Amino acid sequence: MWESAALSVTVFLPLVGAAAIALIPHAKERSAKPVALAVTLATFALSLLILASYYLGPAGGQGRAFIVDVEWIPVIGAGYRVAIDGISMPLFVLTNLLTLLCVVYCFHHIEPPGRPRAFLGLILLLQTGMAGTFVAFDLILFFVFWELVLVPMYFLIGIWGGPHREYAAVKFFLYTMFGSMIMLVGFIALYFGAGAETFSMVELSQAAAGGEYGIVFQRLVFLAIFLGLAIKVPMWPFHTWLPDAHTEAPTVGSVLLAGIMLKMGTYGFVRIAVPMLPEAAVDYAPFLAVLAVIAILYGALCCMAQTDLKRLIAFSSVGHMGFVMLGIAALTTAGVNAAIFGMVAHGLITGMLFFVVGSLKHRYHTSTIADIGGGVLQTTPRIGAILTFVAIASLGLPPLPGFWGEVVALYAAFNPAEAIVDAGLLGLFRVLVVFGAIGTLLTAGYFLTMLQRVTMGTPPRRWVDAGLQDVSPIELGAWTPLLVTTVVVGLVPLLVFGITRPDVSRILTTALTG
């Protein structure tokens, strides 16, 4: 019973919660917050239970567990197939953790026009979509969850966003929608390409490993799927929706967007693109790696020119996701491990960065660096200290999590998969390592400049007089778990590496050696 129901309950509980919140009468709008908190708390507790029983149960911490496989749309061979394995687990737990903290944060403030009922309902809906994406083992189901995410995020940006919210929301929606439609074409091609005519990810991966797909077919389909995933990641040069969306989105929207939604793209590479189209993945790996390194350098350089804090962090995400993609492009266990570690690290750290910047914006009513004018360490010392810590974590200071993701990705790129070496591309990858390492320097450069301009120095007169409130208990409640997790994951990287390694190893071995 627990085995078969746990995942579905955890994924759909927020959906039920969203429905329940929708039923709350208008007059009792305020009670939406406790309801949402209870739902996300329960969801997070359930996901921790799943994590625990994944280790203590028969799975023993590797392979797929909590498998459910029932008919859903038999006529096209789509099933309700969910399961969880070492690759999904960290992202699944992270999703539920971040959503919980977002709901906690909503007790502090919600951007105008307020309306907690609608806001929290959408967040819970978003949670179902995000969590579902990470546990779906059927391409159609995956796609449904994948698309489910778009709608609430569209409304979050479009209703609660900044001054240019409509433009950002529409751009976000249309751009990612465009990518995912082409990705759907790729999925359908996979369906017909395999003799089995199924959408089951497991069976398709086996078919791919068995050499069902010809190389030309693989290359075409990879391009289609690549486009959908790359827009979501976002990889250079498909990233232009991201800064707009982040700049305009409400704090919580930014946190979830950066913290979870970007990972859906990279997760798709690990779960779908590489195992199902292994030969094409090898062929395209150098392109992925080059794009990744361009993203690293380019994101960092763009950051230097930014005048808005949220936009700066958005561009830093481009760079960080570049490291993740570099790890994936190496196509080795170490690389994919590093990528997943990088995803978790980025989710924790950048999520936290958006929280802090959101709180700054709430106090200063602007996120423009020049308008804040420095001296945050004096006006609101604790927020300043937290911002300093998180920025330093984000620039990859060891032993915080960002470092492990980056350095192991570089290591993986230095020693890429045999197939890449056989193609004579070892030299290219090793050159990319050097450029990637230079990216860490640029990252440090813009983050420190940002800190200097925001936290240090003496604050402008008007902010001193404004009597800004330092960190509130609610904010502290939302942030402390994130900060603690950041430090713990950094100090004990085993927490993530240990979960992911067996399954990453299994997937890659199956895919690349048949």
Task: Single out the residue of 228, 493, 511, 512 in contact with other proteins (rule: CB under 8 A).
Answer: 493
Q: Is 487 in the site for other proteins (CB under 8 A)?
A: no
Residue from 53, 411, 428, 460 that binds other proteins (CB under 8 A)?
A: 411
SS3 content of the chain, % helix, strand, coil (to 5): 80, 5, 20
Q: Could you give the CA distance from residue 202 to residue 208 in angstroms, rounded to a whole number?
A: 10
Provide, rounded to whole angstroms, the least separation between the CB of residue 507 and other proteins. 13
Site for other proteins contains 512 (CB under 8 A) = no
Closest approach, Cβ 68 to other proteins, in A, equals 30
Backbone angles phi and psi of 380, in degrees to 5:
-130, 80
Q: Is 456 in the site for other proteins (CB under 8 A)?
A: yes
Positions 305 through 344 that interact with other proteins (CB under 8 A): 305-306, 332-335, 337-338
Of the pair 104, 339, the CB lying nearest other proteins is at: 339
Among 10, 99, 200, 440, binds other proteins (CB under 8 A): 440
CB of 387 to other proteins, least distance (A): 13
Question: Does the protein bind other proteins through residue 293 (CB under 8 A)?
Answer: no
Q: Is 296 in the site for other proteins (CB under 8 A)?
A: no
Cα 435 to Cα 429: distance, rounded to the nearest angstrom: 10
Between CA 119 and CA 16 the distance in angstroms is 15
Nearest-angstrom CA–CA distance, 329 and 433:
12
Which amino acid type is present at position 163?
Answer: P
Q: Which of 4, 415, 472, 510 binds other proteins (CB under 8 A)?
A: 415
Residue with smaller CB distance to other proteins, 7 or 159: 159
End-to-end CA distance of the chain: 35
| 249, two tokens | 């989105």
**Cα–Cα nearest to 406, from 363, 437, 431:** 437
Q: Is 115 left (phi over 0), alpha (psi -120 to 50) or beta?
A: left
Contact flag: residue 469 with other proteins (CB under 8 A): no
**3-class secondary-structure state, position 194:** coil
Residue 288 makes contact with other proteins by CB under 8 A: no
- What are 138's strand-pairing partners? 200
Least Cβ distance, residue 129 to other proteins (angstroms): 24
- Which has the closest alpha carbon to 142: 125, 126, 129? 129
State which of positions 3-42 bind other proteins (CB under 8 A): none
Q: Is 454 in the site for other proteins (CB under 8 A)?
A: no
CA distances from 158 to 173, 282, 489 (A): 10, 40, 34
96 binds other proteins (CB under 8 A): no
d(C-alpha 331, C-alpha 432), whole Å? 15
Site string for other proteins, 371-410 (x = CB under 8 A): ------xx-------------x----xxx---xx--xx-x
370 is an interface residue for other proteins by CB under 8 A: no
Number of residues interacting with other proteins: please give it, by CB under 8 A.
65
∠ CA 496-267-414 to the nearest 5 degrees? 70
Helix (H, G, I), strand (E, B) or coil at 492: coil
Residues 219-278 binding other proteins (CB under 8 A) are 236-237, 239-241, 243
List the one residue from 301, 423, 474, 476 that touches other proteins (CB under 8 A).
Answer: 301
Q: Residue 480: which of 374, 342, 386, 417 has the closest Cα?
A: 386
Binding mask 148-167 for other proteins (x = CB under 8 A): -------------------x
Give the nearer residue to other proteins in terms of CB position, either 358 or 459.
459
Return the number of the residue (193 or 374) whose C-beta is nearest other proteins.
374
The H-assigned helical ranges of 161-277 are 165-193, 201-209, 215-232, 241-248, 251-256, 262-268, 274-276
Residue 417, both tokens: 């998969």
What does the binding site for other proteins look like in residue numbers (CB under 8 A)? 167, 170-171, 174-175, 236-237, 239-241, 243, 298, 301-306, 332-335, 337-338, 377-378, 392, 397-399, 403-404, 407-408, 410-412, 414-415, 430, 433-434, 437-438, 440-442, 444-446, 448-449, 452, 455-458, 492-494, 496-498, 501, 505
